[in-house]
Structure 1
Amino acid sequence: MEGCILVCLLSVINLFLTYGVEYHTVTSKIGDIIGLKDVVVFGSEKREVLMYLGIPYAQAPKGELRFRRPVMKAPFSSAYNATFHRPACLQLQTESLGKLPEFSEDCLYLNIYAPGAVLKEANGKYAVMIGIHGGAFVQGFSDLYVGDVLSAVGEVVVVTINYRLSVYGFLDAGDENAAGNCAFWDQRLAMQWVHDNIAAFGGNPNLVTVFGQSAGAVSASLHAVYPPNKGLFKRVIAQSGVPTLGVTSTKRNNIGTLALALNCNHTEIKQIIKCLQNKRDTEIRGLFLNSPLFSLQFQPVVDGDFIKQTSISVLKTLSNPESEEAKLFSSLDFLSGVTDKDGIFMLKYFWASMLGISDGWTASDFPVDREKFEKKVVPLIAKQVYGTSSKVIEDAIIFQYTDWKNPESPYNRRDMLVDLSTDYAFLHPSLHLADIHAGYNSSAGTYFYIFSHRPYLDKVTPKWVKGANHGMEIPFVFAFSDRLKPFLSIPKETTVPADEFLLGKYIITKWTNFAKTGNPNEPVQLPIHWPEYKKGTRDYFLLNANLTSTSIKQRPEEIRMAFWDRLIFSLSHYVSKYSAVRQCKEKQCPSDKPRLKRFDMELTTAEDVLIALIIISIIILIVVVILITYILFARWHQN
């Protein structure tokens, strides 16, 4: 879903021109590969770049390999032509692209971009950045992450990859022939391919950074906590995505949905899988190409292998420094962040239908009905975050995300819904993961940013949004590559304001510095020093077009984050304990805990009741203070 926003945002600016192209051949372990040599211009700089496009890292996942884990591609028997892009993986298609690429089941390819100086230097010198695209695991492709300028200007080797999406990437039958989460195994095989072969392209296999945005960031952070990945990469950049955004379901075996739709009415799982593997790809793709609901049924799931726990449980495991997951995560340098309005895309693609708004976020300016907000949206959010819901948690969320200056305004409620969506899905879980990483007794660095700039030519985000939409930092990371124009149908003469050019230069420099050293401040120094993130102070870099020494800040959205860190955490803890006690009473569970005889309750239950009363008293006190402030303000205004 967010992929369509990303695609449009990528269209906003052009920072360079493309010149004459030459051919170049590299000799690798897997054979000769013919690529392109080109020149890009970034500001006043001209840089050479080498491009190797559409290199297969796995066999085509078709026929018997459909729904199965990928198989490494064999070496080439003759020189391979890597001068043009290969097909993208089959996916949900939207109207947001200008020129659509070719789509195919045969899609497991990667692209490599290397600085031109590689030709004059020994192999294996440059830091490597592996980019994983976003798109809610239902859309996106590597060609949109054009790494030519990032590579040439940042002096790194950039690799972008395709991986299977939706039903092709996440069909789960609980069987080795369709074990689920194939998309992550595609990504991991691509990483292994890079580790084995990137030296021939000038990259250092021991200096690899995995980075991604949204679903790509979820993927990168999941790989960062999978112990067998040790040695495949050294650093991670997670842009608007952590495990809690991606995996909440323990439900296995989603094959029934597809089998029913394609009339594979067998009783044995192996027969069903065989039937589905024998179907023409046109039969399968017809089910989901234009159906978001069908596509979104196939998502990451706890499979007991790559993902052994739900996302919330993973965070608990990471808090134990002795766990294998924590040992890997603590050894990696970690840079993460969000946009200040990351949740805005959720209004159009998730909340609109629930709120009965048919025109997305355009003509109506998205007024949010109070009853639907309180009865539909909030309970769903509470359930997504904690696996269950309760009225006390829902009431607390409603209280926190109500604008008490004008609580009946549907537009104020809309703005609060943007903040709520940003906080619960992006900002709070990202800070939580950064807290965990910064808390390790490790030499690995932790860094955090918030991107708040809206590009000058952004025509996608509604005008009422004050801040940066989901994915809006991506064009700056990739320096608005001119090679996107065939996909985006934007005018060739499109230019960028000087302040946005400077912001792009800062981001490229900081990102590639981090890839090289684990420190965004070295080796290329810029006036603004980015401090390490500390759990107590939550230091971060506010990235926008007004870059000054005041861009370094602490404790983002402190009050709202305290709400999730403290109040909701405590409430969810006691709600969980209360539910367990209630279930136990229904089953007449015996108890040997001491009881408070006067009230005929267990001592721990009495303590819980007392704490709950204290919490309720605090909430009442806050309400009283707000009401008094409102009354005094009203009287002052009248006078």
Structure 2
Amino acid sequence: MGSWVVIVICASLAVVVLKDVECQNIVYIDNGALQGATETVQGRRVDVFLGIPFAKPPVGDLRFRLPEPAENWEGVKDATAFGPACMQNLPNPFGFPDPETISEDCLTLNVFVPGSTNSSNNKAVMVWIYGGGYITGGTSTYSFKEFVLNGDVIVVSMNYRLNVFGFLSTGDDSVPGNIGLWDQIEALNWIKKNIQYFGGDPGRVTIFGESAGGSSATQLALANASSGLFQRLISQSGTTSAFWAVSENGPQLAVRMGSIVGCPTANTTALVDCLRTIEAEALLNASVKATIGLTGYFYIPSVDGIMLTKPISEMLSDPVVLERLHSLDFVTGILNGDGGILVLNKFSDGIDPLLFRDTLIPFWTKLEVGNNTDIINAITEFYYDKTATKLETARDFVDLGTDLLFTHPMFKFIESHLSEGGGSTYLYYFMRKPLYGNVMLGSPSWFQRASHGDDLHFMIGSHEPFVSRATFTEDEKYLSGMMIRYWANFAKTGNPNMPEPVPAIWEEYTVNKEHYLEFGDVIVGKRRVIPKRVKFWMKTVPRILARSN
């Protein structure tokens, strides 16, 4: 070290300690003083404030309760290191990078500021919600330093409670559910009150997320409790219309888990009081055991009558909910191999056509539409080819997985968002696989598409890549920079084409024109993405369901 230290008092009330590449600065927020760090990235300054508590530690009696605002502190709080991620099982089952530390005391957020922190900057704000199926994830694996410098926006990332700690539901007032979503809203409340001190505009907030982070963003868009906290949203490979984004099995899991750890299960109040006394690691292990023998997705959002007031399909036809949704600008999209998540570490030599027809299609279809024979037969006729090779069949399975888990739910949500005079709607289709390999580990060699999560490689960039082993070609760096520019333009104006110039005009998606932007070897505007598959899910399937009912 041994470098000279110079102290400068900034107009923004920040105290900056300058060294060779890094320095420290202080910002005063409602709760007290924060000491962050300043770094030089690619020759440019970025201020970073990490591990800021936005809620009280959700431990002891606060476990399973709604988040409470963070308490004030005396002195200067160190904000130069990420806080621990929320409790979760490691390693990450999806092949994403693991957080270094986990804790039940995890409700912190991070602020990335391009250039010098100055309360008069009034920059657009983007709020990142990580994915991980609502059971894993954390902010420490996402560095937004390159993003904020290239986009000239402020990015905030927040932790939220996961799995049983964030999504336990007893189906009644004891624990209605959706605690993790309430954590996200509490972070947004903190941002509305405090982001001005970092130079952010609380009236220009865009939430964005990938996978479960994307579905979280769309769930917040429907929730009355989030009204006025953001104006735009970006949903990357995930919407709340997906069957994996909402569940009804919470009460069953709560009882099963209580039995495993020896808690009384006849009364939900006594059950929850007991569960609050169980050591966190033991509770996490019991929550996994409670799912043995069950089929579906577990510890995810649920219809609680408060945040998600009724089933998603009904909320998307509620005039009050739609008025709120239509006021928001919206970007959404998928990857051409999002369904690759279903072939991780399996099917290395392809899939036998009969296995696809007789087992895989019925199993996955039932999760989406139940045991509807007419739908299963229609899906079989559309995706199954008895003359296909095992590799061709495997690729057909990826298409089916992409459409069941991502394409169909996305278009159902788009359909509800479109409105005359409402917020703008933009659609993208991502086809670029990272040259170094897929972000998710375990893809079979025959899989050569952009898989679920590969967009994160480009969104985070090359300075501190999302996956530490990742490398970037110059062409990939360019694509990364342009993706960030589109996202940041949208956050600033609601239009991804301005104010900064872009390589291809991204036209709004409308019912008649169906424009979308394709991120592939080149970035180009097109019309009618995967038209046959979209028509099947948005026209054919609803007709069959109508006949069945």
Q: Same fold (TM over 0.5)?
A: yes
Correspondence for 1:85 among 76, 82, 85: 82
User: 1:170-249 residue pairs with structure 2 within 5 A?
Assistant: 170-245=167-242, 246-249=244-247
Q: Are residue 326 (structure 1) and residue 322 (structure 2) matched?
A: yes
Residue 447 of structure 1: aligned partner: 426
Secondary structure of the equivalent of 1:70? Answer: coil
1:158/1:559 CA distance change after superposition, 3 Å: same
Give 1:539-550 correspondences, 5 Å limit. 539-547=515-523
* Selected match of 2:536 from 556, 559, 563: 563
Q: Give runs of aligned pairs for residues 523-534 of structure 1, distance below 5 A.
A: 523-534=499-510
Q: Is the 8 A contact 1:250 1:310 kept in 2?
A: no
Instruction: Please report how far the alpha carbon of residue 489 of structure 1 lies from its aligned counterpart in structure 2 after TM superposition.
Output: 5.1
1:384-399 residue pairs with structure 2 within 5 A? 384-386=367-369, 388-399=370-381
Rounded to whole Å, the distance in 2 between the matches of 1:360 and 1:480 is: 30
- 1: CA distance between counterparts of 2:288 and 2:458? 30
CA drift of 1:257 comes to 1.7
For 1:114 and 1:529, the matched residues in 2 are separated by: 28
Contact 2:322 2:416 in 1 (8 A): no
Contact 1:91 1:289 in 2 (8 A): no
Aligned with 1:503 (options 476, 479, 490): 479
Determine if the alignment matches structure 1 residue 375 to structure 2 residue 358.
yes
Per-residue CA deviations over 1:19-48 (Å, capped at 9, x if unaligned) read 72100001112211100011111xxxx221
Greater shift in the superposed pair: 86-95 or 429-438? 429-438
Identify which of 335, 347, 371 aligns with 2:331: 335
Q: 1:71 to 1:521 in 2, by over 3 A?
A: same
Looking at structure 1, the residues matched to 353 and 398 of structure 2 have their Cα atoms a distance apart, in angstroms, of 14
Identify which of 444, 457, 461 aligns with 1:479.
461
CA distance in 1, matches of 2:482, 2:468: 27
Q: Distance in 1 between matches of 2:496 and 2:114?
A: 20
- Letter of the aligned partner of 1:570 in structure 2? R
Say whether residues 1:519 and 2:495 are aligned partners.
yes
> Amino acid of the residue matched to residue 466 of structure 1?
Q
Of residues 431, 445, 463, the one that matches 2:411 is 431
Q: Distance in 1 between matches of 2:204 and 2:99?
A: 34
Find the counterpart in structure 2 of residue 281 from structure 1: 280
The answer (yes or no) to whether the contact 2:112–2:155 under 8 Å persists in 1 is yes
**Cα 1:381–1:98 shift into 2, 3 Å:** closer
**CA distance in structure 2 between the aligned counterparts of 1:25 and 1:235, rounded to whole angstroms:** 30
2: distance between equivalents of 1:26 and 1:338?
38
For 2:135 and 2:152, the matched residues in 1 are separated by 32
How far residue 561 of structure 1 moved from its aligned partner, in angstroms, is 1.4
Q: How big is the shift at 1:437?
A: 2.0
Kindly state the Cα deviation for residue 242 of structure 1 after the two structures are TM-superposed.
Answer: 0.8
Cα contact 1:251–1:302 (8 A) shared by 2: no
Conserved? CA contact 2:239–2:245, under 8 Å: no
Q: 1:49 to 1:292 in 2, by over 3 A?
A: farther
1:456 to 2:435 alignment? yes
The 2-side partners of 1:274 and 1:195 are apart by: 33
Contact kept in structure 1, 2:357 and 2:384, CA below 8 Å: no
Q: Distance in 2 between matches of 1:147 and 1:177?
A: 38
Instruction: Give the SS at the match of 1:509.
Output: helix
Instruction: Tell me what 2:15 maps to.
Output: none
Contact 2:158-2:184 at 8 Å conserved across structures: yes
- Gaps of at least 5 residues in structure 2 are 1-18
- What residue number does 2:313 align with? 312
Find the residue that maps to 2:338 and give its secondary structure.
Answer: coil
Partner Cα separation in structure 1 for residue 465 and residue 381 of structure 2:
48
SS state at 1:238 partner = strand
Match of 2:393 among 413, 422, 426: 413
2:12 — aligned with what?
none
Instruction: Go from structure 1 to structure 2 and tell me whether the alpha carbon gap of 1:248 and 1:30 turns closer, same or farther (over 3 Å shift).
Output: closer
Q: Do residues 347 (structure 1) and 362 (structure 2) align?
A: no
Letter in 2 for 1:299: I
Q: Provide closer, same or farther for how the CA distance between residues 272 and 289 of structure 1 changes in structure 2, counting only shifts above 3 A.
A: closer
Show the counterpart of 1:422. 402
CA, structure 1 residues 98+158, in 2 after alignment: closer, same or farther (shift >3 Å)? Answer: closer
Is the CA contact 2:39–2:46 (under 8 Å) kept in the aligned structure 1? Answer: yes
Amino acid at match of 2:46: V
* Alpha-carbon separation, structure 2, partners of 1:26 and 1:240: 35
Is there any run of 5+ residues in structure 1 with no aligned partner, and where?
1-17, 318-322, 349-358, 577-639
- Which whole-Å CA distance do the structure 2 matches of 1:163 and 1:427 have between them? 26
More helix by share: 1
- In structure 2, which of residues 332, 335, 346 is the aligned counterpart of residue 360 of structure 1? 346
Pick closer, same or farther for the CA change 1:276–1:99 going to 2, 3 Å: closer
Cα separation, 2, equivalents of 1:19 and 1:467: 42
1:67 offset after TM fit, Å?
A: 1.0
Let me know the Cα RMSD of the aligned residues. Answer: 2.3
Q: Distance in 1 between matches of 2:317 and 2:409?
A: 12
Q: SS of the counterpart of 1:343?
A: helix
